[in-house]
Amino acid sequence: MNLLSLRPDGRSPAQMREVRITRHYTKHAEGSVLVEFGHTKVICTASVAERVPEFLRGQNQGWLTAEYGMLPRATHTRSEREAARGKQTGRTQEIQRLIGRALRAAFDLKKLGARTLHIDCDVIQADGGTRTASITGAFVAAYDAVTQLLLTQQIAQLPVIDWVAAVSVGMVQGVPVLDLNYDEDAKCGTDMNVVMTDQEGFVEIQGTAEGAVFSRIEMNQLLDLAQIGIADLIKKQKEALGLGIA
Amino acid sequence: MNLLSLRPDGRSPAQMREVRITRHYTKHAEGSVLVEFGHTKVICTASVAERVPEFLRGQNQGWLTAEYGMLPRATHTRSEREAARGKQTGRTQEIQRLIGRALRAAFDLKKLGARTLHIDCDVIQADGGTRTASITGAFVAAYDAVTQLLLTQQIAQLPVIDWVAAVSVGMVQGVPVLDLNYDEDAKCGTDMNVVMTDQEGFVEIQGTAEGAVFSRIEMNQLLDLAQIGIADLIKKQKEALGLGIA
Amino acid sequence: MNLLSLRPDGRSPAQMREVRITRHYTKHAEGSVLVEFGHTKVICTASVAERVPEFLRGQNQGWLTAEYGMLPRATHTRSEREAARGKQTGRTQEIQRLIGRALRAAFDLKKLGARTLHIDCDVIQADGGTRTASITGAFVAAYDAVTQLLLTQQIAQLPVIDWVAAVSVGMVQGVPVLDLNYDEDAKCGTDMNVVMTDQEGFVEIQGTAEGAVFSRIEMNQLLDLAQIGIADLIKKQKEALGLGIA
Amino acid sequence: MNLLSLRPDGRSPAQMREVRITRHYTKHAEGSVLVEFGHTKVICTASVAERVPEFLRGQNQGWLTAEYGMLPRATHTRSEREAARGKQTGRTQEIQRLIGRALRAAFDLKKLGARTLHIDCDVIQADGGTRTASITGAFVAAYDAVTQLLLTQQIAQLPVIDWVAAVSVGMVQGVPVLDLNYDEDAKCGTDMNVVMTDQEGFVEIQGTAEGAVFSRIEMNQLLDLAQIGIADLIKKQKEALGLGIA
Amino acid sequence: MNLLSLRPDGRSPAQMREVRITRHYTKHAEGSVLVEFGHTKVICTASVAERVPEFLRGQNQGWLTAEYGMLPRATHTRSEREAARGKQTGRTQEIQRLIGRALRAAFDLKKLGARTLHIDCDVIQADGGTRTASITGAFVAAYDAVTQLLLTQQIAQLPVIDWVAAVSVGMVQGVPVLDLNYDEDAKCGTDMNVVMTDQEGFVEIQGTAEGAVFSRIEMNQLLDLAQIGIADLIKKQKEALGLGIA
Amino acid sequence: MNLLSLRPDGRSPAQMREVRITRHYTKHAEGSVLVEFGHTKVICTASVAERVPEFLRGQNQGWLTAEYGMLPRATHTRSEREAARGKQTGRTQEIQRLIGRALRAAFDLKKLGARTLHIDCDVIQADGGTRTASITGAFVAAYDAVTQLLLTQQIAQLPVIDWVAAVSVGMVQGVPVLDLNYDEDAKCGTDMNVVMTDQEGFVEIQGTAEGAVFSRIEMNQLLDLAQIGIADLIKKQKEALGLGIA
């Protein structure tokens, strides 16, 4: 196979799309980021609320929760507005639960005090990888929000445990490729979303065979690619936060 | 009163905020516009669907319908996500019905064929005037969508009847002012949203006394201001569509 | 045009339908009114609750909120029961929000104490003008409810600021007419609902062009008519409350 | 015990409240009845729809279904509006299913053709016995609706099998009484709703012990009373329909 | 008629199906019973919660409430999952309200303290009589739950007033039969569910004519049968609880 | 560490709980299985419907979809009934989507014809691993259902591609263990659910760090364990289906 023609946008198998992280994208939220993975664009905000869910009352500990949505015409054909339909789809719920788990791994909620960080990831344009872009951007928004809590002396220490980013990998025509766009995602055999930290620790792995099962060898190839992508993304997060040199 | 200090952002009473209309803002929709009235930012898309609602079946006539939403953190404090809550608020429904009526006045739905134009207005940052910005931007998005139908020979004639834009006016400390931002809106006595055409025809007037009733004289002052704003907005719409010279 | 044949029921353009306001229509509510605008019949009740919404807790101030409904067969063809359908339509929400705003303009909620006035307007027969009849009747029901609070010494002063009534006006075949019934409403070009006080102050104006835009001159003609209707309605309200002589 | 003081309104144990059946109460429905059992007032309408539910498609047979509701302030204290709450209570569903079963027993749905009779029972004032008043009034409304179908030659025969009415009976302080009002219902030990035909056939019996169980003897006493009440109600139905002499 | 061939499973008219009551069926609930009426199988659990509904706060009194459900494929053809559909059917609500009323008649809620007994009846296989099996099994589960409260000294006295069981009876081809299975239920003219105590007291009677009305004589025949069935069921309950000898 | 005391139930790290698969558990479904992983018990049914979802119409191809639920008291403390609450939780939706994807990998839906296999997994007792037990049991139920289609000559070939089972693995106190029960799941650092085929192909991997991230080495250890468990489970599936010898 000619690897040059493998990917519709001419990327090499291990090449990420262009990633852009724009902080302070909207003005009200404590943290607000526009994250772009190629044509995929997600607004990620982090909002601080001075309360915690019922199950954490009186424990002087914080919480982080995430919600995810897509504008109806973020996609090729218009999808029904979930608010009009009256409920979120299973896909939406699955994604927002993933974002929440991924982000909770990055923050020390005990140091947050009795506060909730609300993460909102809203896709304004979709081209594959909306959940991985969401996690990557939301980390930066949350970082900004907790930094502001520190600067205003509402907390004593930055409650950041680790850097967290996410990327998709998949088998396209038998070749492992990094950061699938929509066209690749639609035709790939195996699709895996990987959430990792700066130290190459895994936070979450979700791999799904679509059409054909995958072998242990293929999984290892995919994870190798994912590590490359994650390292690149965390570098981008650090640059965006002005912490790139360290 | 010192009129110079009347408005928090230093505008004169008859001065609009800076208005920007960015076409082709997202790539999938037939029409896609980012409209900004100062800090208020709304993504307006127009999507073409090859079907009509039940009540229009078999009449070879089109329909236009609108939906409105706000990202949870478009506002000063985070508001609950309507999709998670399971229903749209009364305010949302009121606004999207207004947008739909306003836009239907601008298009000849008979010339559209058996198609529906779905208008989606999603506020990504709110600072007052989200419904008037939505109408103003959505008109341009819908114009782009029907132009594309014409260019691809799906329709024979441009089904545009008139230009439509909307602006808010209100009494602030007894002075009629144009295009209220959030702070002004919160403290104004009377708030009026006016939808007009290029020919100074009224499409919709919604005036509400909040706190004190308003007189016929005050209403006339407000409508004078609204006409100034509408003329300005339609000029901006024409420029955005490259039709400014005519 | 022969004005005599303009209106299906033979009224002159500036003539209201017969208006009847029957107090104490049902026995449990603190205020209970059957209001009739011709064949349109609405039961309006005002209920006093010894609590306020969350956002007013601890402020020793009251609130007034309104709900609106239609019996399924109040209309020509049966409409779906909103309770069975599981949600209120956008139209219902728009109307009940209008009723609430209109009534709040008439009462001093600070003098009400930490109480809520629940207004319920239920249409038992519809023939156009259900929202204007609702506002006109609900004012009387609310007046009765607060009077009872005064008589039982639960409040020290009658918290009534002004009299409020509402009427519709519209352009039918180019002629401005007052108080549209269903047939007129269905075919009229412009439809305007006007809420005013006894002192000719505007509380709310909602004008909508349906089919053709309306001019400033037409709007003024409509408002002239509305003022005639409002004066008539407030006279009827005073008579119903036995305050007609003043 | 002094039977004279047993019932709050001075009735003897076997005495019904005053029953009034007003036909043509609202103007749009094919059948429309205001039924009053003392202070309990219910609007019952019967609407004809030219379609049947899915499970009866293509069988040239009709259907009858019922819905029930209460205005929020039909009761002593305001109850939440089911349409605003987003669902019907279990009580409402239980009652509307009972009304439907009771009425279906009275009509030959095969003779109705492929039509649905929608029965709507809306309580505007409640004082006990709303479900029995609903059934009694709804029968008359449905009778009117099918008579109109016959008179307009849409059906060939009146599809009425039998007369159906309903009444409540209960044990109050050990005494069986007929047609309980709200106060009696609240304190009675056993409450039974009985639906019967003109020929003393039972359509439905629902007896509930509240507080103390009831014996077979007591049940027989209650059924004796119910038969008295039903005979009286069917006489009232016939008078209302101008069929009293037969 | 040949009574031998009357019932599809060869039972005589007054013969119950085989009834089995298996305690401790699942391990977490305070009371857990699998009840079988022939092929009808229901898991009944009783759960103790240390709180009461709003309307009982501060009265040192308990509450008992019941919920009912069916696995989607408990029935001949798969029925829609109520949780996926987003609401319980009217039938479900009617049944769970019946179970709650029946069980509340058997327990002295004052002796329960400020606790709620949650009864859950989930049908895993349906063959008619699911509501009567539910009541019969739920009594045993609730008995186990309150016994455990007594043994752990959380309450001072067993709050059991009486034994309660339920059975269905019906007219099949003019013959009164006991404990209808699905096939009999589908074709029977009258269907009656009877809830009784050990002392032959009636707790609830719900009789419905389906197709043809029933006479007083038939009702008495049905009640005679029901008493036979109830006596048998309460014997089974006592045996299951090891209280059979008394 | 003493490995003997590592697991609360005394299992060795690589030891599954006792697994039981009971076919024909309920009588109506085309496939019906009770699957037990130790104390975890799930009823899995497969129902055949002669229709397909909208997106597959006219393609002569089948579909398989899954739903999941828990009886309210399957758990240590009673959880709210989803049908009463009015919606499924995010967890439920996530699990039922997983079951659907896993099972679709095992069947050739083209050979199924225009039919839908509805899989229902209802947990009657939960002790960890409900989703893996569900997948393992549902495969057998679906196998039975398609076998019946073959035997009744509704399809020409058995549409089974592969055997599919699922198991959980996790790091408990730094030791990789197989098939976690509830207590282990609650305290484990990393939890991974693995769905595999008979041929050691991966269908789905979902690994989540809870508390601490996991390394690539740990992941490999977990996958080694999972393969052991899957082989055991597929052996059990074959035995249950009487295909154990092959």
Domains with residue ranges and CATH for chain C: 19-241 (3.30.230.70)
CB < 8 Å to E87, chain D: 87
What pLDDT was estimated at residue A2? Answer: 62
**F9 vs F181: CA distance, rounded Å:** 9
What pLDDT was estimated at residue E3? Answer: 59
Identify the CA nearest to F146 among candidates F184, F101, F111: F111
Of D96, D196, D209, the CB nearest to E203: D209
Q: What is the pLDDT of residues B119-164, one digit of tens each?
A: 999 999 999 999 999 999 999 999 999 999 999 999 999 999 999 9
What pLDDT was estimated at residue E5? Answer: 75
What count of other Cβ atoms lies within 10 Å of the Cβ of residue E69?
27
**F211 vs A105: CA distance, rounded Å:** 7
| pTM, to two decimals | 0.94
**E95 vs E89: CA distance, rounded Å:** 10
Give the residue on D whose Cα is nearest the Cα of E88.
D90
**C7 vs F32: CA distance, rounded Å:** 69
What pLDDT was estimated at residue A126? Answer: 98
**D143 vs D149: CA distance, rounded Å:** 10
**F92 vs F130: CA distance, rounded Å:** 11
Task: Render C225-243 in DSSP notation, one character per residue.
Answer: HHHHHHHHHHHHHHHHTT-
CB < 8 Å to D122, chain C: 71, 124
CB < 8 Å to D29, chain C: 73, 78
CB < 8 Å to E205, chain D: 192, 205-207, 219
Reported as a pLDDT band with limits 50, 70 and 90, residue E1 is: low
C-beta atoms of B216 and C223 within 8 A: yes
On whether any CB of chain D is under 8 Å from the CB of C79, the answer is no
Residue predicted with more confidence, B217 or A200: B217
Reported as a pLDDT band with limits 50, 70 and 90, residue B246 is: very low
C-beta atoms of E83 and F78 within 8 A: no
Q: Which residues pair with B58 in a beta bridge?
A: none
Residues of the binding site of D for phosphate: 91, 129-131
Length of chain A: 246
Q: Is pLDDT above 80 for E246? A: no
C-beta atoms of B213 and C219 within 8 A: no
How many CA atoms within 13 Å lie on the side-chain side of B80?
10
Of A94, A192, A196, the CB nearest to F93: A94
Mutation pick from A9, A51, A73 vs chain B, by most beta carbons of B within 10 Å, is A73
Identify the CA nearest to D78 among candidates C45, C56, C146: C45
SS3 content of chain C, % helix, strand, coil (to 5): 35, 30, 35
What pLDDT was estimated at residue D199? Answer: 83
Residue predicted with more confidence, E1 or A86: A86
How many percent of chain E have pLDDT more than 70? 97
**F114 vs F127: CA distance, rounded Å:** 37
How far is C-alpha A17 from the chain's CA centre? 15
Of F197, F203, F213, the CB nearest to A105: F213
How far is C-alpha A67 from the chain's CA centre? 12
Of A101, A203, A223, the CB nearest to F216: A223
**B117 vs B104: CA distance, rounded Å:** 10
Amino acid symbol at F192? M
How many percent of chain F have pLDDT more than 90? 87
What pLDDT was estimated at residue D220? Answer: 95
What pLDDT was estimated at residue E133? Answer: 98
Mean pLDDT estimate for chain E: 94
**B66 vs B195: CA distance, rounded Å:** 15
What pLDDT was estimated at residue F100? Answer: 97
On whether any CB of chain E is under 8 Å from the CB of F73, the answer is yes
Most distant pair of Cα atoms in chain B: their distance: 61
Strand ordering across the sheet containing A40-49: A19-23, A31-37, A40-49, A116-125, A63-70
What pLDDT was estimated at residue B4? Answer: 62
Average pLDDT over residues D176-198: 93
Q: Which are the contacts of A70, defined by CB distance < 8 A and separation ≥ 6?
A: A79, A92, A122, A123, A126, A130
How many CA atoms within 13 Å lie on the side-chain side of F42?
31
CB < 8 Å to B109, chain C: none
Mutation pick from C213, C218, C221, C225 vs chain B, by most beta carbons of B within 10 Å, is C213
Give SS3 for E214: strand
Give the lowest-confidence range in A33-37, C7-11, C164-168, E106-110: C7-11
Structural Rg of chain E based on CA atoms? 18
Mutation pick from C71, C85, C99, C125 vs chain D, by most beta carbons of D within 10 Å, is C71
Mutation pick from D107, D202, D225 vs chain E, by most beta carbons of E within 10 Å, is D202
Give the residue on C whose Cα is nearest the Cα of B89.
C93
Of C91, C200, C214, the CB nearest to B202: C214
What pLDDT was estimated at residue A245? Answer: 54
Kindly list the partner chains of chain D, i.e. chains with 3 or more CB atom pairs below 8 Å.
Answer: C, E
Which residue do the tokens 């929760």 mark? Answer: A65
CB < 8 Å to C162, chain B: 213
Q: Which are the contacts of D94, defined by CB distance < 8 A and separation ≥ 6?
A: E90, E93, E94, E97
Which residue do the tokens 């599981």 mark? Answer: C86
Mutation pick from F73, F76, F119, F122 vs chain E, by most beta carbons of E within 10 Å, is F73
Average pLDDT over residues F46-60: 94
What pLDDT was estimated at residue F2? Answer: 62
What pLDDT was estimated at residue F246? Answer: 47
CB < 8 Å to B208, chain C: 101, 203-204
C-beta atoms of F216 and A200 within 8 A: yes
Identify the CA nearest to D80 among candidates B145, B224, A79, C47: C47
Burial of E242 (0-12, 13-18, 19+ CB in 10 A): exposed
What pLDDT was estimated at residue B187? Answer: 83
Identify the CA nearest to A133 among candidates A142, A145, A122: A122
Average pLDDT over residues A208-221: 91
Average pLDDT over residues E13-31: 97
Most distant pair of Cα atoms in chain A: their distance: 61
Q: Which are the contacts of B9, defined by CB distance < 8 A and separation ≥ 6?
A: B17, B38, B181
Mean pLDDT estimate for chain B: 94
Contacts of D74-82 spanning 24+ positions with Cβ under 8 A = D74/C26, D74/C28, D74/D123, D74/D124, D74/D125, D74/D126, D75/C28, D75/D126, D76/C28, D76/D182, D77/C47, D78/C29, D78/C47, D78/C49, D78/C118, D78/C120, D81/C67, D81/C69, D81/C83, D81/C120, D82/C83
How many CA atoms within 13 Å lie on the side-chain side of F216?
13
C-beta atoms of F200 and A209 within 8 A: no
Instruction: Compute the nearest-CA separation of C27 from chain B (Å).
Output: 31
Mean pLDDT estimate for chain D: 94
Helix (H) or strand (E) holding A159: none
Interface of F with E in 125-184 (CB under 8 A): 125-126
Reported as a pLDDT band with limits 50, 70 and 90, residue D246 is: very low
What pLDDT was estimated at residue A123? Answer: 98
Reported as a pLDDT band with limits 50, 70 and 90, residue A187 is: confident
Burial of F83 (0-12, 13-18, 19+ CB in 10 A): buried
CA distances to A47, A69, A70, B78 from A30, rounded to whole Å, are 6, 19, 21, 10
Structure tokens at C157: 């002063």
Q: Which are the contacts of E54, defined by CB distance < 8 A and separation ≥ 6?
A: none
Structure tokens at C199: 């002192």
Amino acid symbol at C1? M
SS3 content of chain F, % helix, strand, coil (to 5): 35, 30, 35
Q: Are strands C116-125 and C63-70 parallel, antiparallel or unpaired?
A: parallel
What pLDDT was estimated at residue C200? Answer: 83
Give SS3 for B117: strand
Q: Is pLDDT above 80 for E4? A: no
What pLDDT was estimated at residue C245? Answer: 53
CB < 8 Å to E81, chain F: 67, 69, 83, 120
What pLDDT was estimated at residue F212? Answer: 83
A91 is in an annotated binding site: yes
Identify the CA nearest to B32 among candidates B190, B157, B142, B169: B142
On whether any CB of chain B is under 8 Å from the CB of A24, the answer is no
Reported as a pLDDT band with limits 50, 70 and 90, residue B3 is: low
Of A97, A162, A205, the CB nearest to F205: A205
**F124 vs E122: CA distance, rounded Å:** 9
**D202 vs C88: CA distance, rounded Å:** 38
Structure tokens at E87: 């609401």
**D139 vs D146: CA distance, rounded Å:** 11
Mutation pick from A95, A164, A213 vs chain F, by most beta carbons of F within 10 Å, is A213
C-beta atoms of B69 and A83 within 8 A: yes
Q: Is pLDDT above 90 for E137? A: yes
Task: Render E132-189 in DSSP notation, one character per residue.
Answer: HHHHHHHHHHHHHHHHHHHHTTSSSS--B---EEEEEEEEETTEEEES--HHHHHH-S
Give the residue on C whose Cα is nearest the Cα of D74.
C28
**F144 vs F28: CA distance, rounded Å:** 13
Q: Which are the contacts of E206, defined by CB distance < 8 A and separation ≥ 6?
A: D204, D205, D206, D207, E98, E192, E193, E194
Give the residue on D whose Cα is nearest the Cα of C74.
D28
Instruction: Compute the nearest-CA separation of D17 from chain E (Å).
Output: 25
Amino acid symbol at B190? T
C-beta atoms of A45 and B82 within 8 A: no
How many percent of chain A have pLDDT more than 90? 87
Buried/exposed code over A78-117 (b: 16+ C-beta within 10 A; e: otherwise): bbebbbbebbbbbebbbbbbbbbbbbbbbbbbebbbebbb
Give the residue on D whose Cα is nearest the Cα of C76.
D28
Amino acid symbol at F241? L
What count of other Cβ atoms lies within 10 Å of the Cβ of residue F90?
17
Helix (H) or strand (E) holding C118: strand C116-125
Average pLDDT over residues D116-138: 98
Q: What is the pLDDT of residues C194-238, one digit of tens each?
A: 999 998 899 999 999 977 899 999 999 999 999 999 999 999 999
Structure tokens at A173: 């025509």
Residues of the binding site of B: 91, 129-131
E–F CB contacts, 8 A cutoff, strictly below: 106
CB < 8 Å to E88, chain F: 83-84
Q: Which are the contacts of A143, defined by CB distance < 8 A and separation ≥ 6?
A: A31, A160, A237, A241
Phi, psi of B9 (to 5 degrees): -100, 15
Phi, psi of F131 (to 5 degrees): -75, -35
CA distances to C143, D4, E156, F7, F229 from F171, rounded to whole Å, are 70, 79, 46, 12, 15
Average pLDDT over residues B218-234: 96
**E62 vs E157: CA distance, rounded Å:** 14
CA distances to A182, C102, C112, C113, C164 from C157, rounded to whole Å, are 67, 21, 9, 11, 19
C-beta atoms of B72 and A120 within 8 A: yes
On whether any CB of chain A is under 8 Å from the CB of F207, the answer is yes
